[in-house]
Each structure stands twice: as C-alpha cells, then as structure tokens.
Amino acid sequence: MAKKKISRRSFLATGPAVAAGSAISAKGLTQETEGVHGTPPSGIPLRVQSLISVLTKKGLLDPKAVDALIEYYETKIGPHIGAKIVARAWVDPAFKERLLQDASSTITELGLTGIGNSRADLVALANTAEVQNMVVCTLCSCYPWALLGLPPTWYKDFAFRSRAVIEPRAVLEEFGMTLEEDVEVHVWDSTADLRYLVIPERPEGTEEMTEEELAALVTRDSMVGVEKLKPFEPETAV
C-alpha cells in the first residue's frame, strides 16, 4: 500500500511545538498560528502576543517597529536571495567550485556580505544523482535567514529536528521525495557558528533558460534539501 503524502502544514502535526516558530506581528497572530475556527491561541504564540502587549503599554516597544522588522524579513530578504546563488552556480562552473570551497567569501561576488547579523560561516552543499544533502538544526533553529528568509515552522519542530537525524529517508518521503536505495543521504547539523545552503540539482529541460529564469525555479525547500526540483516543462499554447 502506497504511503500517503502529507502537506507541510500537517507534517508531524502532533509535535509539541508545531506553532512555536510562526511569525507574529505586533498587530496579532498570523493565520498560521491563530486558533482553529477562532479559538484562542495558546503556548508560545500566546506568550509572545502577551509580551508584546505588556511592553507596548509600558512604552518600551513600538508596535510599528515590530511590524516593520517582520515585513523586512518577509519581503526584503528571503529565498529569492539564495535562489540567485543557486542559479549562478548552475550556469558558472567556476563560481560553483569556489562556492563549494568557500561559500562565505564567494557570495560576496553577488554583492552579498554575509548571512545576516550572524557571524556564522556559510557552507554550500551540492546535491547530485548519487548524494542528497539535507539540513537540520538539532539544537534549536539555526538557519541562514538572510539567504532563505524566515525558517518554516516544520524546521523548528522538535519531531523534525530529531527524526531528520534518526530516519532521514522516512522524513524525506513524507515531504514527497522517494530516493533510490543507492542514493546516499547526508544530514548536516547547523549551529550558531555554521550554516548550510544546499545547491539542488539543475532540473532537466532548462538548458536554454537565462540565469534569472533559473532562479525563479529554485524553492526554499530545495535549498534545505527536502525537495527535488522537477524537470521543467514549458507551457504550450492551447
């Protein structure tokens, strides 16, 4: 019997901290963390909302500043930055080689000076037909924010952080990726001093695409290593 594919939202839904990492605005909870059918929020989302309320009343926090910061992380930085790096690596073998040798320095060639305010080093990992790289943070949620944007909720979930190390193939299958038995799975543990960026395999059918067009095909999940990009199929006129 084939295993049922589940969505990102329902992945490990019974985990103890499913809603812990969702973005919270000073105006209230986002839709992802809001209670089902209007039920009150609980746990960490409720505590954060309460803390924002108290600090605002005491004049120690400006709600507009909180909203501006969240908007910055959601719109100004994000997966499109990492996608540019991947696309350049696809079209420029020399750049890719430098990236794999010293990612922190090489990304400066694209005008990127680092991975946010973190002093962490960046390591690039290339997926191939024989090797699938997958990134996790077993301790908390270390993540290259400036390259990939806000980390998804499932990345911070305790169940994902533990299972990704214990049974990575099973986790990847739940994300919709079934690997051949001869494909090696390498799991990399991010830390406060070290972050990773996965360079997914270039999809088939993209040989004539520009670098900008290629960047549009790259997804956040593929740069974490939990998604394999599908072959490109151009739209045909009806």
**Residues labelled catalytic:** 137, 140-142
Question: What does the alpha-carbon distance between residue 196 and residue 190 come to, in Å, rounded to a whole number?
Answer: 7
Two tokens, residue 216: 């549009």
Two tokens, residue 80: 């499109």
Question: In which residue are the tokens 């909203």 written?
Answer: 67
Q: What is the DSSP string of 196-222?
A: EEEEPPPPTT-TT--HHHHHTT--TGG
Question: What does the alpha-carbon distance between residue 172 and residue 190 come to, in Å, rounded to a whole number?
Answer: 18
CA distances from 53 to 5, 35, 161, 231 (A): 40, 18, 31, 48
